[in-house]
Structure 1
Amino acid sequence: MTQRARLIYNPTSGNEGMKRYVADILDVMEQAGYESSAYQTTPEPFSAKKEASRATLDGFDLIVAAGGDGTINEVVNGIAPHRHRPKMAIIPAGTTNDYARALAIPREDPVAAAKVILAGQTLRMDIGKANKHYFMNIAAGGLLTELTYGVPSEFKSIFGYFAYVMKGAEMLPAIKQFPIHLEYDDGVYDGPASMFLLAMTNSIGGFEQIVPDSSLGDGKFSLIVVKTAKLPEYLVLMGKVLNGGRHVDDPNIIYTKTQNLVVTREDGEELKINLDGDYGGSAPMTFQNLRQHIEMYANVSEIPDGNIADDAAQQDYLQEVETISESDINGDGKIGK
């Protein structure tokens, strides 16, 4: 049976350069054995999400998301709620491209990124659920995490990653603590914080040392809570991040692994939540890690071994899912062990 693939691309991504590559990307998808077609996103809200959901329900075998982290997040939100989910591939064309960085996918050449599909290497990736929304890389709350809302899209297109750096430097002096209540697998935290991060890869805002022991597909978030709001202490923490990820042992940091998290702001003020770089609602919010929820094409051979969950653990989990769902997910002709 012929397998079908749908390319969902954002024509405004990459300084509006993505449109030039569509024909070549479709050609690569055809070379990989997929009967391929394309959908260009529109100004209509959530058009990428709606098309991804439609293609999933229509039985497509692969959905390729081409654009920035926002477009990729929409496609994930279109796929994730469904019981039967197609494989997914990403072609980055945004500013920081955190997810592509984590999967070792070329970030400067869309056609080279598409050719990752030809290699046939995939990973079953965790997906985060935040109330009714989904995210694939990071959730965060606190003033500094709101910096993406204040960077105009044209500024991001021109200056790229440095747009975020400059905006972050501008906001550092305004950081304040707020009372937060966190419930996670190993405990509860009630106290002051200036920011929390919930990550699933080692790439956050272009930095790869914020979550130094990230493991793809392990079913756990990396939770980081920054308790201080003092500028000198923030600068020390940033220095430790750049010096091998030593911030995780700092007394101003809570660093732990968890599958679940409940976040509440205790003073009644709004706490905006950032999901994959965009506004995702406000606390209170409940987070759940959906282990190995979507199979992604990746340059697996280029990802350090320590950044991928143990193969045996992945296989055991897959067999459990097959038994529960009574489905042959990995195509080996067996269900479960």
Structure 2
Amino acid sequence: MVINREPFDVRSVLNHVAELFHPKAAERGIRLTYELDGSIPSTLIGDEGILRQIIVNLVGNAIKFTGKDGHVSISAKLDKIPGRSDAVLQFFVRDTGIGIPADKQSQLFQSFTQLHPTINRKYGGTGLGLAICKKLVELLGGAIGVDSQVNVGSTFHFVLPFELPGESPAPYSVPEKTQRSKPASSLVSGRESGALPSPKFGPMKLLVTDDNPVNRLLLITLLKKLGYEADYAENGAEALQAVRSDTYDMVFMDLQMPEMDGFETTAAIRRLKGEASRPAIVAVTAFAQKEDMQMCLASGMNDFISKPVFAPEVERVLKIWSPHCKQDRI
């Protein structure tokens, strides 16, 4: 990865993440808030995109494991260190969720690790999210940790250094807080404003299905660079509803999702009548063995890309399965 060092406003990052998750939090009856230390400079220099990805992943996990009437909060404060010319910030994502046993906390940041088999079925996921967070935090020169108590909640905290744009950065006059409730819908548009390049393989209607907000955001961003807007569904049931109500040319389908996984969702789509049963379905999964590919094809899927997702693979499946291109298909 290339680390960008550009001016940005931490307040806008936290506000964006809060706006992203408010519909899901409201749907689950969860109170979502954020707060900034008033002494944080209004402008810092660093990689805004990586910081946003870290916070999105942690907040997504917090909401996933927090029940109705729970609370998830995001906060940041300035940690002043004498003799340093940069600004060191501490970030906290707190929840009142299921918590983590003390003897399991050391396993959290390992790849493909989940604490109990029932976690995967009930909540979904592959166990990659926190490992990715750890790598990203360390890439930026920081550190990450967790404090948790079973049935009380968890606090994930990380510290990162940022450069200052000048010797006298302007601080905020007051801390920023927000708490909002917005009506939630079962299907949320993943489209963003702004001009897109021309669709590289002809116009297509696309749907991204994944219960992990980081994975969704990454894939939608890659598609946008190729000239495509995409809708998204957060689970299999939402994807099935979307396909019933609209005509899609292609569905990117995560395999491991709670309640209704990618195989079940694909089978349900193929049982639909008319055009609704015919979109090209591309599996998106962290498991990339030959046997996994064969299972995907046997279930009614058309193709397969592995996580982490890279642009060339996305471009390949778009080219092969676009109704405007004639390619040899698997």
Normalised by the shorter chain, which TM-score bucket?
under 0.3
Larger relative contact order (CA 8 Å, sep ≥ 6): 1
TM-score norm. by structure 1 comes to: 0.27
TM-score norm. by structure 2 comes to: 0.28
